[in-house]
């Protein structure tokens, strides 16, 4: 199952549906939600390539491709941050999770420097109780 499907199922079947309701009928928000999932996939691929590098097997082509895709995606979000709903929803959870993973596994990636709005969103999410009690760790 895709994380998007699992989160929506849990929200609607076990919760009250408020986390997914903001994106239910908004194709623009669904697109942002999908792109945030794609960002997480790219970050995982970059992590695999980083591990391959420790073994002397890193592909410069894929390393650059992943870095470029991450930068394009983060720039995409920086330009569209104003489109995010004010209410906390699955979109913020998905993007916040990807940004937390980026900080956790890719400390070499200086993504905050030129993206002040995205950085501010990340900082706001990181202080939420739900994010604080579920930190990433090895």
Q: What is the pLDDT of residue 25?
A: 86
Q: What sign does the CA torsion over 8, 4, 71, 138 have?
A: positive
Q: How many domains does the chain have?
A: 1
Residue 52: inside a domain: yes
Ranges of the chain with pLDDT below 70? 1
Do 19 and 89 touch, CB atoms closer than 8 A?
A: yes
Rounded Cα distance, 2 and 40, in Å: 12
What single-letter DSSP state applies at residue 81?
Answer: G
Residue 137: inside a domain: no
Residue 117: inside a domain: yes
Q: What are phi and psi of 111, to 5 degrees?
A: -85, -20
Q: What is the pLDDT of residue 85?
A: 94
**What residues contact 69, with CB distance under 8 A and at least 6 apart?**
42
Report yes or no on whether pTM surpasses 0.75.
yes
Rounded Cα distance, 119 and 35, in Å: 17
For residue 17, the enclosing domain spans 3-132
Rounded Cα distance, 19 and 8, in Å: 8
Residue 95: inside a domain: yes
Residue 57: inside a domain: yes
> No. of H helices and E strands in the chain?
7, 0
Residue 125: inside a domain: yes
Residue 138: inside a domain: no
Q: What CATH number has the domain bearing residue 67?
A: 1.20.1050.10
């Amino acid at each position: 199952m895709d994380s998007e499907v699992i989160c929506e199922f849990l929200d609607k079947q076990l919760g009250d549906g408020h986390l997914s309701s903001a994106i239910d009928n908004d194709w623009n928000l669904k697109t942002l939600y999908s792109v945030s999932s794609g960002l997480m996939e790219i970050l995982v691929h970059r992590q695999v390539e980083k591990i391959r590098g420790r073994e002397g097997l890193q592909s410069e082509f894929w390393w650059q491709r992943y870095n470029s895709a991450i930068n394009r995606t983060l720039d995409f979000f920086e330009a569209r941050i104003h489109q995010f709903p004010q209410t906390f929803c699955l979109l913020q959870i998905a993007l916040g999770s990807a940004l937390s993973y980026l900080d956790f596994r890719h400390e070499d990636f200086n993504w905050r420097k030129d993206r002040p709005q995205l950085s501010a969103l990340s900082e706001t999410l990181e202080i939420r109780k739900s994010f604080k009690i579920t930190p990433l760790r090895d």
